[in-house]
């Protein structure tokens, strides 16, 4: 390293310090505090100098590192190795993943907490796979996906609490309702693409949430719906003491009562739902409608010139994506036994979109990896309380820096003329 | 030779700008009709009217079929390709770049495959009737790929092909919808002499073997003069000349339109 370089990077870091000072000075340095009457300013120059110092030092280190061209070498080799493994052996990876997911509840270290996190990750995987149809395949950026999740959850909750129908009847109904709302959203946005579409879908998500808050007579407003029936194991409820003349899960199988039974059941339920979503997506991608979705993402005008009806194609994508969101929503309702509009805020949509985009648009395995990575990291840092969102943001930045196209960004043709070359 | 397409008193205005002014011409079956003219003459606008991208201000366009004639004004958007069977290519190639060559040709057969797959139901059930139809679609794609010599690259992304091959792929993709009329917007733009010779061969093949009428916009005179049966010359939205390629070369109006008038 030349002496010149050091001086140059030192100057550069001093400049960074200047910017940091301009930013932190007013924001951190001048703190307002209320003492008795009115507000007073308490300066905190010590903290400001600490922060500015950190910025200068950080910038200096980055400069020196990049001059040496050794920056992040470990990271890039790691990530390239990682992707080469998963790309070559996507199938093996999927099978091992499913096997692991199947035996996961019975592993020795699996406790209640792990199961809860696993259920949460699986819910996000399912939502990610559902949204992947809309964003990954059809290329329609939907920032209001949580609306369909909410519609599914509320349909299930309302039908189950009003009519007392079982989970297995309500589940398809919730899916249908969500699909209907998918079409409802689809119609006004048919002519929009890209940023404009994103804004309208974002608005749609908020509309649904605000309706849920304000339509008190039906949705019970911000108080939410309580006492949503739990799912039963083919008619056998998970209760400690079943009603007169009724069998419960543990008495039927002659087991000791444990709350884990229900958790394990829920785990398998969401696993099966997610796998159905995945199987369906992989299948439909190879059908004409799936190819039309991808063609629409590539070039809408070319689609029209070939006689592909863009309206129907877009609406089916919205409807099917929404349907899976609805399924996931009813699962969420039955798991929590309580839902309120609080659970369906924009941040949920943002997380799901992040999972799809960071996983690599259209990649099914990518969604799994991104869900585990993003949800897992926020869980690991749960002890840090409010700072765990920094970990979430950091994870996103890391993926964007090292894998700008997403963790897995390879697309395989849906049909091959010459067979698999591998 | 019978008429395939008749354009009658077609006018297209954008606000105060008259892009096409009272244009009438015919295109015949099994012929290549070229539309030429200086930049901004309104050639692509004619195409956009014919293929449903614009709705003309006034005028009629008829496609003659076995014994009746179909007004193209009735169809807009995707229906032009789906119902009226008019296919087109674009001045700046519009393939599906991230999809494979074969997939590009299958999307062109979307409507037949959609019915064959029972609107996805039979397809999801993986019925034999659907798989057979899909195989037929792949065979048709292979037939066209053999003709343009791209079969070895069938599984590569369309966006990875060389420019000349992309042009040819776009043409055969349009042919996969089995059009009655094929509209080509500057197919030879950006091709080297060898590639435009190959293009000529392909277009002649489509004309003679497939009995498809071709409407061609082109600046490359080697292509226009080499293969056109009939030439229509436009300038400022008006037809200034119509005739065979030989007549066009000698026409005073055409030379003036391209090179200007002697002072």
The DSSP code sequence of B40-58 is: TSSHHHHHHHHTTSS--SE
**Which is more confidently placed, A349 or A70?**
A349
Helix (H) / strand (E) element for B217: namely strand B213-217
Q: Average pLDDT of B95-105?
A: 93
Chain A, residues 298-317, CB within 8 A of chain B, namely: 298-299, 301-310
Residue recorded with tokens 């080799």: A77
Q: Cβ separation of B113 and A288 shorter than 8 Å?
A: yes
The domain boundary, picked from A50, A71, A92, lies at A71
The reply to whether A55 and A119 lie within a common domain is: no
The reply to whether A30 and A60 lie within a common domain is: yes
Share above pLDDT 70 across residues of chain A, in percent, rounded to a whole number: 92
The reply to whether A166 and A222 lie within a common domain is: yes
Searching chain B, which residue's CA lies closest to the CA of residue A297? B96
Q: Cβ separation of A304 and B103 shorter than 8 Å?
A: no
Give the strand pairing for B69-71 and B181-185. unpaired
Share above pLDDT 90 across residues of chain B, in percent, rounded to a whole number: 26
Q: Which of B77, B88, B99, B135 to mutate to test the interface with A (most CBs of A within 10 A)?
A: B99
CA dihedral sign of residues B180, B186, B190, B195 = positive
The reply to whether A160 and A66 lie within a common domain is: no
Searching chain A, which residue's CA lies closest to the CA of residue B150? A417
The reply to whether A50 and A114 lie within a common domain is: no
Q: Average pLDDT of A97-108?
A: 85
Residue A30 confidence (pLDDT) above 90 = no
Helix (H) / strand (E) element for B200: namely helix B193-209
The reply to whether A332 and A253 lie within a common domain is: yes
Residue A243 confidence (pLDDT) above 80 = no
State the nearest Cα–Cα gap between B53 and chain A, in angstroms: 9
Q: Cβ separation of A415 and B138 shorter than 8 Å?
A: yes
Of B53, B77, B99, the CB nearest to A298: B99
Give the strand pairing for B32-36 and B230-235. parallel
The domain boundary, picked from A45, A71, A97, lies at A71
Residue A94, burial from CB neighbour count under 10 angstroms (0-12, 13-18, 19+) = middle
Residues in A closer than 8 angstroms to B83, CB to CB, are 307
Residues in A closer than 8 angstroms to B138, CB to CB, are 415, 417
The reply to whether A261 and A365 lie within a common domain is: yes
> Band of the pLDDT at A79, cuts 50, 70, 90?
low
Name residue A236's beta-bridge partners.
A233
Q: Are the CB atoms for A332 and A146 separated by under 8 Å?
A: no
Within 8 A by CB and 6+ apart from B238, the residues are B21, B22, B23
Q: How far apart are CA A25 and CA A44, in angstroms?
A: 9
Mean pLDDT of chain A: 84
Searching chain B, which residue's CA lies closest to the CA of residue A414? B103
The reply to whether A210 and A296 lie within a common domain is: yes
The reply to whether A122 and A259 lie within a common domain is: yes
Residues in B closer than 8 angstroms to A281, CB to CB, are none
H-only helix segments in A137-226: 146-163, 167-186, 194-214, 216-219
B102 in contact with A at a CB cutoff of 8 Å? yes
Give the strand pairing for A39-43 and A30-34. antiparallel
Give the strand pairing for B58-64 and B3-14. antiparallel
State the nearest Cα–Cα gap between A398 and chain B, in angstroms: 26
What does each C-alpha distance from B129 to A290, A308, A419 come to in angstroms? 19, 22, 22
* DSSP count for chain A of H helices, then E strands: 17, 2
Distance of CA A187 to the CA centre of its chain: 25
Of A287, A305, A415, the CB nearest to B51: A305
Q: Which of A279, A287, A311, A319 to mutate to test the interface with B (most CBs of B within 10 A)?
A: A287
Q: Is residue A225 part of a domain?
A: yes
Of B111, B151, B152, the CB nearest to A307: B111
Q: Cβ separation of B155 and A308 shorter than 8 Å?
A: no
Q: Is residue A417 part of a domain?
A: no
Q: Average pLDDT of B139-146?
A: 93
Residue B217 confidence (pLDDT) above 70 = yes
> Residues B228, B234, B239, CA angle at the centre, nearest 5°?
100
Residue A71 confidence (pLDDT) above 50 = no
A422 in contact with B at a CB cutoff of 8 Å? no
Q: Are the CB atoms for B56 and B12 separated by under 8 Å?
A: yes
Q: Is residue A358 part of a domain?
A: yes
The reply to whether A136 and A256 lie within a common domain is: yes
Reference A406, options A140, A138, A87, A145; nearest CA is: A87
Q: Is residue A418 part of a domain?
A: no
pTM, full prediction: 0.82
- Top mean-pLDDT range of A117-126, A221-230, A247-256, A413-422: A117-126
Share above pLDDT 90 across residues of chain A, in percent, rounded to a whole number: 32
Q: Are the CB atoms for B181 and B85 separated by under 8 Å?
A: yes
Is A242 strand, coil or helix?
A: coil
Name residue B64's beta-bridge partners.
B69
Helix (H) / strand (E) element for B63: namely strand B58-64
Q: Is residue A243 part of a domain?
A: yes
Residues in A closer than 8 angstroms to B94, CB to CB, are 299, 301-302, 305
Half-sphere exposure of A203 (CA within 13 A, CB side): 9
> Band of the pLDDT at A89, cuts 50, 70, 90?
low
Q: How far apart are CA A206 and CA A147, in angstroms?
A: 8
- Top mean-pLDDT range of A265-269, A379-383, A409-413, B122-126: A265-269
Q: Report DSSP state, residue B158.
A: G
Chain A, residues 381-420, CB within 8 A of chain B, namely: 411, 413-418
> Band of the pLDDT at A422, cuts 50, 70, 90?
very low
Q: Are the CB atoms for B2 and B28 separated by under 8 Å?
A: yes
Q: Is residue A100 part of a domain?
A: yes
Q: Can you give the pLDDT at residue A98?
A: 87
Q: Are the CB atoms for A147 and A173 separated by under 8 Å?
A: no
Q: Is residue A413 part of a domain?
A: no
B135 in contact with A at a CB cutoff of 8 Å? no
Residue recorded with tokens 């994508």: A317
Residue B219 confidence (pLDDT) above 60 = yes
Is A308 strand, coil or helix?
A: coil
Q: Average pLDDT of B230-258?
A: 86
Residues in B closer than 8 angstroms to A287, CB to CB, are 117, 120, 123-124
Within 8 A by CB and 6+ apart from A382, the residues are A388
Q: Are the CB atoms for A167 and A234 separated by under 8 Å?
A: no
What six digits make up the tokens of A57? 């030092």
Q: Are the CB atoms for B227 and B200 separated by under 8 Å?
A: yes
Residue A82 confidence (pLDDT) above 80 = no
Q: Is residue A133 part of a domain?
A: yes
User: At what angle are helices A260-285 and A90-103 packed, to 10 degrees?
Assistant: 160
Share above pLDDT 70 across residues of chain B, in percent, rounded to a whole number: 99
A vs B, Cβ pairs < 8 A, gives: 123
Q: How far apart are CA A283 and CA A290, in angstroms?
A: 9
Residues in B closer than 8 angstroms to A418, CB to CB, are 152, 154-155
B115 in contact with A at a CB cutoff of 8 Å? no
**Which is more confidently placed, B144 or B77?**
B144
The reply to whether A22 and A125 lie within a common domain is: no
**Which is more confidently placed, A403 or A171?**
A171
The domain boundary, picked from A71, A92, A113, lies at A71
Name residue B241's beta-bridge partners.
B233
Q: Which of B49, B50, B94 to mutate to test the interface with A (most CBs of A within 10 A)?
A: B94
Half-sphere exposure of A248 (CA within 13 A, CB side): 17
B136 in contact with A at a CB cutoff of 8 Å? no
Q: Are the CB atoms for B198 and B172 separated by under 8 Å?
A: no
Residue recorded with tokens 């807009």: B76
Count the domains in chain A. Answer: 2
Residues in B closer than 8 angstroms to A415, CB to CB, are 100, 102-103, 106, 134, 138
The reply to whether A260 and A160 lie within a common domain is: yes
Task: Write out the residue range of the structural domain in which residue A341 sits.
Answer: 80-402
Q: Which of A280, A302, A311, A419 to mutate to test the interface with B (most CBs of B within 10 A)?
A: A302
What six digits make up the tokens of B14? 């954008």
Q: How far apart are CA A322 and CA A151, in angstroms?
A: 9
Q: Are the CB atoms for B102 and A415 separated by under 8 Å?
A: yes
Searching chain A, which residue's CA lies closest to the CA of residue B98? A298
A89 in contact with B at a CB cutoff of 8 Å? no
Other CB atoms closer than 10 Å to residue B203's CB: what's the count?
23
For the segment A147-169, what is each residue's pLDDT rounded down to a tens digit? Answer: 999 999 999 999 999 888 888 88
Q: Can you give the pLDDT at residue A375?
A: 86
Residues in B closer than 8 angstroms to A276, CB to CB, are none
Residue A26 confidence (pLDDT) above 70 = yes
Q: Can you give the pLDDT at residue A181?
A: 93
Q: Can you give the pLDDT at residue A6?
A: 82
A51 in contact with B at a CB cutoff of 8 Å? no
Q: Can you give the pLDDT at residue A159?
A: 92
Q: Can you give the pLDDT at residue A210?
A: 94
Q: Can you give the pLDDT at residue A75?
A: 55
Q: What is the CATH number of the domain that holds A115?
A: 1.10.3470
Q: Can you give the pLDDT at residue A238?
A: 77
B108 in contact with A at a CB cutoff of 8 Å? yes
């Amino acid at each position: 390293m030349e002496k010149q370089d050091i001086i140059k990077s030192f100057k550069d870091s001093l400049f960074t310090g200047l910017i940091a000072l301009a930013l932190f000075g007013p924001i951190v340095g001048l703190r307002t505090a209320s003492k008795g009457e009115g507000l007073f300013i308490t300066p905190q120059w010590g903290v400001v100098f600490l922060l500015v110092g950190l910025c200068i030092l950080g910038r200096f280190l980055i400069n020196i590192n990049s001059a040496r061209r050794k920056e992040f070498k470990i990271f890039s080799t790691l990530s390239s190795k990682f992707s080469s493994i998963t790309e070559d052996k996507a199938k093996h990876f999927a099978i091992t993943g499913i096997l692991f997911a199947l035996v996961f509840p019975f592993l020795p270290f699996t406790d209640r907490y792990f199961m809860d996190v696993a259920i949460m990750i699986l819910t996000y995987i399912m939502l990610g796979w559902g949204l992947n149809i809309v964003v990954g395949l059809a290329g329609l950026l939907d920032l209001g996906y949580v609306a369909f999740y909410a519609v599914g959850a509320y349909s299930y909750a309302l039908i189950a609490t009003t009519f007392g129908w079982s989970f297995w009847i309500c589940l398809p109904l919730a899916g249908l309702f969500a699909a209907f709302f998918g079409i409802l959203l689809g119609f006004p946005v048919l002519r929009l693409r890209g940023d404009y579409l994103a804004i309208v879908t974002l608005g749609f998500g908020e509309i649904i949430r605000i309706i849920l808050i304000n339509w008190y007579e039906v949705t019970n407003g911000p108080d939410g719906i309580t006492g949503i029936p739990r799912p039963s194991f083919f008619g056998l409820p998970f209760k400690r003491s079943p009603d007169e003349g009724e069998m419960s899960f543990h008495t039927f199988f002659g087991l000791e009562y444990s709350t884990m039974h229900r958790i394990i059941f829920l785990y398998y339920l969401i696993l099966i739902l997610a796998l159905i979503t995945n199987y369906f997506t992989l299948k439909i991608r190879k059908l004409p409608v799936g190819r039309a979705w991808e063609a629409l993402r590539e070039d809408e005008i070319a689609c029209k010139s070939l006689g592909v009806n863009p309206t129907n194609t877009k609406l089916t994508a919205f409807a099917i994506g929404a349907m899976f969101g609805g399924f996931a929503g009813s699962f969420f309702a039955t798991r929590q036994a309580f839902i309120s509009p609080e659970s369906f805020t924009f941040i949920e949509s943002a997380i799901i979109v992040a999972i799809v985009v960071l996983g690599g648009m259209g990649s099914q395995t990518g969604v799994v990896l991104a869900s585990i990575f993003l949800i897992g990291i926020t869980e690991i840092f749960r002890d840090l309380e409010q700072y765990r969102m920094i970990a979430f943001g950091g994870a996103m930045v890391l993926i964007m820096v090292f894998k700008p196209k997403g963790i897995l960004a390879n697309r395989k043709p849906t049909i091959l003329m010459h067979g698999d070359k591998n | 030779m019978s008429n395939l397409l008749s354009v009658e008193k077609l006018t297209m205005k954008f606000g105060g700008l008259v892009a096409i002014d009272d244009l009438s011409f015919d295109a015949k079956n099994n012929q290549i009709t070229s539309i030429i003219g200086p930049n901004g003459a309104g050639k692509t606008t004619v195409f956009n009217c014919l293929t449903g991208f614009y709705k003309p201000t006034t005028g009629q366009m008829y496609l003659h079929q076995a014994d009746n004639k179909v007004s193209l004004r009735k169809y807009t958007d995707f229906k032009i390709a789906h119902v009226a069977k008019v296919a087109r290519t674009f001045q700046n190639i519009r393939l599906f770049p991230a999809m494979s060559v074969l997939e590009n040709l299958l999307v062109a057969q979307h409507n037949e495959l959609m019915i064959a797959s029972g609107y996805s139901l039979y397809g999801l059930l993986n019925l034999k009737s659907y798989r057979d139809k899909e195989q037929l679609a792949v065979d048709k794609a292979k037939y066209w790929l053999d003709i343009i010599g791209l079969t070895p690259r069938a599984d590569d992304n369309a966006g990875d092909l060389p420019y000349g091959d992309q042009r040819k792929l776009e043409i055969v993709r349009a042919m996969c919808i089995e059009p009655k009329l094929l509209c080509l917007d500057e197919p030879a733009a950006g091709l080297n002499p060898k590639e435009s010779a190959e293009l000529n061969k392909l277009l002649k093949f489509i004309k003679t073997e497939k009995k498809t009428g071709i409407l061609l916009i082109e600046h490359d005179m080697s292509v226009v003069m080499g293969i056109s049966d009939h030439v229509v010359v436009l300038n400022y939205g008006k037809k200034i000349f119509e005739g065979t390629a030989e007549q066009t070369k000698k026409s005073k109006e055409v030379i003036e339109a391209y090179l200007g008038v002697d002072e």
